[in-house]
Structure 1
Amino acid sequence: MYARIRFFRLALIGLLSGSLAACGLFADTDPRFDPAPLTEYAPSLAVAPRWSASVGSGGGYGFIPQVTGDAVQVATPSGSVAALDLASGAVRWQVRTEPLSAGVGSDGQVTAVVTQSGEVLAFGPQGTELWRSQAASAVNIPPVVGNGIVAVRTSDYRIQAFDAASGKLRWEVQRPGPALALRTSMRMRLLPDLLLAGLPNGRLILIDTPTGAVRWEASVSAARGASDLERIADVVGEPLIVGTQVCGTSYQGRTTCFDISQGGRPIWSQEVGSATGMTTDEQRLYLPDDRSRVHALNLTDGGGLWVQSALLNRQLSAPAVAGPAVAVGDFEGYLHFLSRADGALMARLRIGGGPITSALVGVPGGVLVQTGDGRLLRVGAGG
């Protein structure tokens, strides 16, 4: 019975946060939450698709392309898993499996996805299936692969590590979680011998990958408010690492940076959160907040540099740096390019395929975009 109640709660918050902001819930009754209309401006950046490939069908927050060397790995909810040439988009290998809930994670040798029943699948460098292992519960966040493990974060707030060669469970770490959690753009990150992950309780955790020992844990943002909805403070997007600095951002919360070389001491914290995540050019952090205002923060001290409100309530994706711009996708399938220097609108490109919910991935000279209809595009920015 408890499991059914928990599933209902997770499904409910997934629906309520389909736009991942209050605008999606109240837009019909309160014009303050209406998406801003697109405005005309003089483009100052040339953007165009370099290639486009159909890799399956469907999309979602748990599906983010991953670049390894000169290849890009990609998966879709329909059960398609593929590796493409990054320069041309040509398919190097492709396999079909059962419907998926999350993917992909890859180190170029092992590529992992998760089925809707919580089974972790691993494929070799030519798409040959290596092993299958059952996760503790559903997985809606892309796995990560490296350091000899395939790691997943499950819906019951466990991080589980499977041996990359055999699929045997090596360790797991579990933390208590809130009554409600978001289904949004979230990712874990691997460092040499370490795994960094955000949690639904507003915390970051650093785990030793050989042993599963927790090396460090700290709060990005504390839950606030009287109701379960008001108290959602999930760490969203991918935690960022620049030198010895680790940064995380949370939904309706804060963005906080820590110094790992000093035991994880907080360096700064700003009252700016995000619904989908952030990116960095190693001088600034860029993030769309819960109302799709895009912020630039100084990486050194968290000081606000600019805010762009022209895309208010357009349900923006996690951003990526693209040449002189920072790129975001919106609910109508548009890509927007904003100046990294001052936030000015530089270019706009209609991608189509429904809302862009997958996090954008920066590549040399542009971005990778995975669409809601199962396409992967490489878009060039600046030439």
Structure 2
Amino acid sequence: MERKYIIPFALAILSAVIAGCSSKKVKEEKIKPNPLPKLAQASSLVPVFSQSVASTSQEDPLRLRMDSDNGVVFLLDPKGSVAAYQGKQRLWSQRVSKIGLSSGVAAAQGLVVVGNHKGQVFAIDQSNGQEKWLAQISGASISPALIQGNRTIVIANDGTVFAFNTETGQQVWTYKLPHAQLSLRGHAAPVALGEENVLISTSNGYVYVIDSLSGVPRMQRRVAVSEGRSDIQRLIDINSDPIVVAQYVVTTSFQGQVTVLDLASQQVVWSENVSSLSGPGVVDNKVFVATTEGELVAYDLLSGQEIWRNNQLLHRNLSNPVAFGRYLVVGDYDGVLHLFDPNSGQLLGRSKTSGDVRSLRVVDGQLFVSTRKGALTAWKTP
């Protein structure tokens, strides 16, 4: 049986740094994060919701992603519970899994879907938290599902894509993706392409388009290229969710590239060498990338030309950047949300939550923030 080796983020980064060094004992140099830049007049976001759940370990890639549907916010606790909130009022809380939860929340069509490390997938009724169906996949579920029409798409950590009937939970098809023998622990979530196609990213730098009804692959394209000498240096996982804008797909990869793929022609429009563990942001024909070193870079969507680069937040372990109101927002290891001007890259302000920011997401005009410490918050613009 083929064995796949999975390594946590922190180990991957450390290994990449020391790979190629001699066997002689060397003194490890600790890199200090940049201090918070001074702001003459700071803007800030307005908190509208806050809830604390169990924290995760430093090495665990869990993105405790919240989701919202019909004005109700759904969130999970890694210890095994799912809860629903309307405003600050808790509608219900339900213990779902005795061994904890790991996947992040997907909410649509009256369902909330979550998964755990044992490959169990739970579909819960949005109205009361009761289980509608339970399914089993071939590996840990560590990325949110996609509820798309009559299909619920889930990716196991062994690279197998599963499709279930959204109403009944019956398995409809599976598709086994080629998977790198050595990869980071984590997986990008499936992304909807229209009503009947789903975009899947892999740990070996490919993206696939699969018909969600039949499981038939429609396209595969390499979007990240490895240039390292060792196995660690050749890691090019696409661990973060791609962004789809019109006919373009934007991807980032670890030790790889930021790439824009034209779905119409199935050709790469442009690609620039940059390493990122977080997903890209796209707004007004600009692509924003937070690099593993802590730079924030803006590119033109169509040409790939660099528009601006900001290095004020070096080594602060930046999250994915998102467009929110008039700001570009990115979080860091200390729970700070940094507000940038997306046109110039100027730092305009900041807000504060608690813990290493793992995921930013804008839903229904609110910014949802998830941290490793278990702080789940929602924000609005002033």
Same fold (TM > 0.5): yes
Deviation at 1:93, TM superposition (A): 2.9
Greater helix content? 1
- Counterparts of 1:124-139 in structure 2, within 5 Å, are 124-126=125-127, 127-139=129-141
Aligned partners of 1:20, 1:360: CA distance in 2, in Å?
27
C-alpha spacing 1:184/1:2, structure 2 compared with 1 (3 Å):
closer
Cα pair 1:76 1:103 within 8 Å, conserved? no
C-alpha spacing 1:282/1:161, structure 2 compared with 1 (3 Å):
farther
Deviation at 1:67, TM superposition (A): 2.8
C-alpha spacing 1:62/1:365, structure 2 compared with 1 (3 Å):
closer
- Counterparts of 1:301-316 in structure 2, within 5 Å, are 301-316=303-318
Aligned partners of 2:323, 2:283: CA distance in 1, in Å?
7
Deviation at 1:115, TM superposition (A): 1.6
Cα pair 1:69 1:108 within 8 Å, conserved? no
User: 1:110: which partner in 2?
Assistant: 111
1:369 paired with 2:369, answer yes
C-alpha spacing 1:304/1:326, structure 2 compared with 1 (3 Å):
same
Per mean C-alpha deviation after superposition, the further-off stretch among 303-312 and 173-182 is 173-182
Aligned partners of 2:364, 2:113: CA distance in 1, in Å?
25
C-alpha spacing 1:20/1:214, structure 2 compared with 1 (3 Å):
farther
Q: Deviations over 1:98-141 (max 9, x none)?
A: 20121211214121111221101111222220111111111211
1:70 paired with 2:65, answer no
Deviation at 1:22, TM superposition (A): 4.8
1:82 paired with 2:77, answer no
Q: Deviations over 1:244-263 (max 9, x none)?
A: 1122111111111122223x
Amino acid at match of 2:332: D
User: 2:199: which partner in 1?
Assistant: 196
Aligned partners of 1:169, 1:268: CA distance in 2, in Å?
38
Cα pair 1:117 1:138 within 8 Å, conserved? yes
C-alpha spacing 1:202/1:136, structure 2 compared with 1 (3 Å):
same
Aligned partners of 1:155, 1:44: CA distance in 2, in Å?
42
Q: Deviations over 1:278-303 (max 9, x none)?
A: 11114211110121211111112111
Deviation at 1:96, TM superposition (A): 1.4
User: 2:28: which partner in 1?
Assistant: 29
Cα pair 2:118 2:140 within 8 Å, conserved? yes
* SS of equivalent to 1:16: helix
* SS of equivalent to 2:102: strand
- Counterparts of 1:258-277 in structure 2, within 5 Å, are 258-262=261-265, 264-277=266-279
Aligned partners of 2:14, 2:343: CA distance in 1, in Å?
28
Cα pair 1:316 1:329 within 8 Å, conserved? yes
Aligned partners of 1:17, 1:89: CA distance in 2, in Å?
39
Per mean C-alpha deviation after superposition, the further-off stretch among 148-157 and 182-191 is 182-191
Aligned partners of 2:13, 2:173: CA distance in 1, in Å?
32
C-alpha spacing 1:112/1:346, structure 2 compared with 1 (3 Å):
same
Deviation at 1:47, TM superposition (A): 2.0
Cα pair 1:63 1:142 within 8 Å, conserved? no
**1:215 aligned to which of 218, 223, 236:** 218
Aligned partners of 2:304, 2:205: CA distance in 1, in Å?
18
User: 1:93: which partner in 2?
Assistant: 92
C-alpha spacing 1:21/1:237, structure 2 compared with 1 (3 Å):
farther
* SS of equivalent to 2:229: coil
Structure 1 stretches lacking a partner, 5+ long: none
Aligned partners of 1:19, 1:38: CA distance in 2, in Å?
24
User: 1:57: which partner in 2?
Assistant: 54
- Counterparts of 1:160-239 in structure 2, within 5 Å, are 160-184=162-186, 186-191=188-193, 192-239=195-242
* SS of equivalent to 1:176: coil
Amino acid at match of 2:275: G
Cα pair 1:325 1:337 within 8 Å, conserved? yes
Cα pair 1:274 1:287 within 8 Å, conserved? yes
User: 1:330: which partner in 2?
Assistant: 332
Aligned partners of 2:144, 2:14: CA distance in 1, in Å?
20
Deviation at 1:350, TM superposition (A): 2.1
C-alpha spacing 1:203/1:43, structure 2 compared with 1 (3 Å):
farther
Aligned partners of 2:371, 2:13: CA distance in 1, in Å?
16
Deviation at 1:185, TM superposition (A): 6.9
Per mean C-alpha deviation after superposition, the further-off stretch among 143-152 and 39-48 is 39-48
1:252 paired with 2:255, answer yes
Cα pair 1:160 1:173 within 8 Å, conserved? yes
* SS of equivalent to 2:264: helix
C-alpha spacing 1:242/1:326, structure 2 compared with 1 (3 Å):
same
1:45 paired with 2:39, answer no
Aligned partners of 2:15, 2:134: CA distance in 1, in Å?
32
Alignment RMSD (CA, Å): 2.3
* SS of equivalent to 2:314: coil
Amino acid at match of 1:346: L
Aligned partners of 2:47, 2:37: CA distance in 1, in Å?
22
Cα pair 2:15 2:232 within 8 Å, conserved? no
C-alpha spacing 1:21/1:57, structure 2 compared with 1 (3 Å):
farther
Deviation at 1:364, TM superposition (A): 5.7
Amino acid at match of 1:379: W
